[in-house]
Amino acid sequence: MAALEYRFHDKDILVTACGRIRMHRKKINISTDMAAQRLGIKEVDDGIWIVSFMHYDLGFFDNKEDCVEPVKNPFAPEKL
């Protein structure tokens, strides 16, 4: 199986066995389900990064926070 490439991202980063990525000396919780997977990260604003897996955007990371805020689920049913 070929390694994932993130050509349109600034860099790719490996999720640790405990489900975290390390950025700017911070440990950001992702999920243990993503352990050993490569994620793409791209700075979309000053200090704001988007975190992606394959073709899916998982959420945004702010340099001031230690977590990823999820993006809206495109597969979720719409509220009436």
Confidence grade of residue 80 (pLDDT, cut at 50, 70, 90): low
Q: Is residue 18 part of a domain?
A: yes
Q: DSSP letter for 21, please.
A: E
Q: Are 70 and 58 in contact (CB under 8 A)?
A: yes
Number of Cβ within a 10 Å radius of residue 40: 23
The domain in which residue 36 lies consists of 11-70
In a domain, 2, yes or no: no
Is residue 41, in this structure, part of any structural domain at all? yes
Instruction: Tell whether 78 is covered by a domain.
Output: no
pLDDT digits 0-9 by tens, 20-32: 999 878 888 899 9
In a domain, 80, yes or no: no
How many domains are there within the chain? 1
20 falls within a domain: yes
CB 52 within 8 A of CB 70: no
Q: How far apart are CA 53 and CA 57, in angstroms?
A: 6
Report the predicted TM-score, pTM, of the whole model to 2 decimal places.
0.80
Per-residue pLDDT, averaged over 41-55, amounts to: 91
